[in-house]
Amino acid sequence: MNRLSDSEGSYWRETAALPSFPSLTEAAATDVAVIGAGIAGLSTAWELARAGLDVVVLEAGRLAGGVTGHTTGKLTALHPRAYDTLRTEHGDEAAGLYAASQSAALRRVVEVAEELGIDCALERRPALTYCRRPEGVAALRAEAEAARAAGLDASFVTETGLPFPVAGAVRVEDQAQFHPLAYLRGLVDDIVALGGRIHEGTRVVELDRGDPCRLGTDTGGSVSARHVVVATHHPVFDRTLLATRLSQHRDLVIAGPLPAPRDPDGMYITEEDGKRSVRTAPLPDGRRLLIVTGEAFRPGTGEDTEAGYARLRDWTERHFPDVTITHRWAAQDNSSTDTLPLIGRMPAGGGNVHVATGFAGWGMTGGVVAGSVIAALVRGEREPWAGLYAPGRLGPLLRSAPALLKEQWETGRHFVGDRLETFGDGTGGPVRDLRPGEGTVVRGRGGPCAVHRDDRGGLHAVSAVCTHLGCLVAFNNAERTWECPCHGSRFDVDGAVLQGPALSPLERRDPEES
């Protein structure tokens, strides 16, 4: 398989034909400024524009160029081990509200697609969480019972459409899958038709929580807004330290055409073997696009990502021998320490600033939930499940204290330990030993230095200190990016920000001084 960068590899981005919008270079005023043009940001902007509010959307890169553009496109209320955990840790009411909100989001996408006439390859399919090992059956039986109690049409089954036997599975009927960017294209067109303004290539670098709020950008433009929505995956401008309640992970994705008779006819996921997720999508020639996800890892830990892709490909070709792999990409997600997304008004003096984050890999329904919850709050209303997701919730936070402490220990370990490892025993490796396509972190004259050798032998050197909070980055050898293990910021080989919370690029360095 030829190496593909994540922006080149996403099937959704390749086939979406999204429009382009200019950067913001002037002063603007609006009712609501939405930072981030993924499904959470655009769903919120659309709900507000439909309610008659003036909306400005600011996107640092391209529309849906982050997490949303690299998803698997599942719309389901069945999430692995969610309901038994929710019932145990948060109670029956919380589990019921979660099921109701996620199901409402699925219905909302179906309704909006029909109302706007969006052709987004939406298909109704069952969703299944399965295990192949007998020791996993008891947990899945408990999950099926908890999901039923929460209001889902869930059952425990032992037969699936997968080309291999399973020990058991939780099955929920009438879920959905779609082309996420084709759907968002429809939202974007309607937002513009309703008078909304969208600006790409516009990174917000300053946020003044006044009345009105004021936003400064890296393109010279500014926005004055009564309300602000931070829908940037990781919460930038995070005065309340929500980031301490989030952990980051990336999943690898491969995809390729599969003969239609081999379609497993469903959306499948297991937490075994480093996670495996399977679904298909229709192709114009009548075949199906098989999409397989797995090999989850924490960004910035120096994982051999190419080896992960190889394992994922081997698994796919072993179970689906008729598939031809044509695409690969990777997606980044974050999870809160109490397992629930953080959606709503920023706590502790956030004022009219709202946030949507922590979707734990289920951002398609989670982003639509965020749109409805935040749009209601801006209008002075309240969704029945708003309290479940409120970022300032205290009870669940106290119950998740062990997970919170574990996450902060992991962050601290990287902040201190990576420096000792890299500079204490020289495990970063000398620059002269770098082969084309490789990267390493070394001690430079100006401090820690991240060096990459490109395919032509040229060296690219930048500071290895993440501009967010100062952790050391590590190299991702498949995507050829520098990644921070503490909060998931990502940079290209020349230091440009690919993914926040970092707002500033890594400082350029002279390769001769590294």
Q: 41-52, pLDDT tens digit by residue?
A: 999 999 999 999
| Residue 198 sits in the same domain as residue 160 | no
| Amino acid type, 164 | F
Determine the 3-state secondary structure of 120 from DSSP.
coil
Planar angle of CA 254, 255, 258, nearest 5 degrees = 145
Asked whether residue 345 is assigned to any structural domain, the reply reads yes
Distance CA 9, CA 293 (A): 14
Looking at the 3D structure of the chain, how many domains does it have? Answer: 3
Say which residue, 204 or 9, is predicted with more confidence.
204
Alpha-carbon gap, residue 63 to 466, rounded angstroms: 25
pLDDT tens per residue, range 141-184: 999 999 999 999 999 999 999 999 999 999 999 999 999 999 99
Residue 385 falls inside a structural domain: yes
Residues 284 and 168 in one domain: yes
Q: Indicate whether 89 belongs to any domain.
A: no
How does strand 27-35 pair with strand 222-233? parallel
* Higher per-residue pLDDT: 446 or 178: 178
Token couple for 169: 């599975």
End residue of a domain, out of 381, 399, 417? 399
Provide the pLDDT confidence category of residue 266 given band limits of 50, 70 and 90.
very high
Distances (CA, A) of 397 to 333, 392, 476: 20, 9, 32
Assess whether 160 and 43 both reside in one domain. Answer: no
Given 334, 361, 386, which residue is the final one in a domain? 334
Residues 290 and 278 in one domain: yes
CA distances to 147, 155, 279, 339 from 103, in Å:
12, 17, 19, 18
Is 168 among the domain residues? yes
Same-domain pairing of 423 and 493: yes
Q: What is the mean pLDDT of residues 364-375?
A: 98
Cβ atoms of residues 157 and 168 within 8 Å: yes
Query: pLDDT tens, 331-343?
Result: 888 888 888 999 9
- What's the pLDDT score for residue 298? 85
| Confidence at 424, pLDDT banded by 50, 70, 90 | very low
1 pLDDT higher than 80: no
Burial class (CB in 10 A: 0-12, 13-18, 19+), 218: middle
Which 8-state DSSP code applies to residue 245?
Answer: G
Say whether both 131 and 271 belong to one domain: yes
Domain membership flag for residue 104? no
127 and 233 belong to one structural domain? no
CA–CA gap between residue 342 and residue 354 (Å, rounded): 10
The string of pLDDT tens digits covering residues 60-118 is: 999 999 889 999 999 999 999 899 999 999 999 999 999 999 999 999 999 999 999 99
**CA neighbor of 328 nearest in space, from 312, 344, 348:** 312
pLDDT attached to residue 420: 43
Whole-angstrom distance, CA of residue 499 vs CA of residue 61: 9
Looking at the domain assignment, is residue 264 inside a domain?
A: yes
Enumerate the H helices of 51-91 as residue ranges.
Answer: 82-89
Please give the model's pTM, rounded to 2 decimal places: 0.86
Helix, strand or coil for residue 303?
A: coil
Task: Please report whether residue 105 resides in a domain.
Answer: no
Does 79 reside within a domain?
Answer: no
Name the average pLDDT for the chain: 89
Can you give the CATH number for the domain in which 330 is found?
3.30.9.10
Tokens of 168: 């058991």
Query: Do 161 and 260 belong together in one domain?
Result: yes
Q: How far apart are CA 108 and CA 74, in angstroms?
A: 14
d(CA 65, CA 329): 12
| Of the candidates 249, 252, 209, 258, the residue with the CA atom closest to the CA atom of residue 230 | 209
What integer pLDDT is reported at residue 511 of this predicted model?
Answer: 79
Predicted confidence (pLDDT) at residue 462 exceeds the cutoff of 50 = yes
pLDDT in tens, 188-206: 999 999 999 999 999 999 9
* Contact (Cβ atoms closer than 8 angstroms) between residue 45 and residue 96: no
Instruction: Output the CA torsion 284→326→320→297 (10° steps).
Output: -120
Domain end marker among 356, 375, 399: 399
Q: What pLDDT shows up at residue 218?
A: 95
Give yes or no: residues 57 and 127 share one domain.
no
Based on the fold, state whether residues 215 and 278 are members of the same structural domain: no
At residue 300, does pLDDT exceed 70? Answer: yes
- Is the CB of residue 247 less than 8 Å from the CB of residue 407? yes
Contact 260, 67 (CB under 8 A): no
Alpha-carbon span 37 to 327, nearest angstrom: 24
* pLDDT reading at 58 higher than 90: yes
The larger pLDDT score, comparing residue 451 to residue 415, is at: 451
Is the domain of 277 the same as that of 325? Answer: yes
Looking up tokens 């099955």 gives 171
pLDDT at 233 over 70: yes
Q: Residue 427 above 50 pLDDT?
A: no
Place of tokens 């991240």: 450
* Pair (494, 364) in one structural domain: no
CATH number of residue 495's parent domain: 2.102.10.10
The CATH number of whichever domain residue 350 belongs to comes to 3.50.50.60
Work out the average pLDDT over 393-415: 50
Backbone angles phi, psi at 508, to 5 degrees: -65, 145
pLDDT confidence of residue 402: 54
Interval 11-31 mean pLDDT:
96
321 C-beta neighbours (distance < 10 Å), count = 9
Please name the helix (run of DSSP H) or strand (run of DSSP E) that holds residue 198, with its range, or none. strand 197-199
Residue-number span of the structural domain to which 170 is assigned: 120-175+245-334
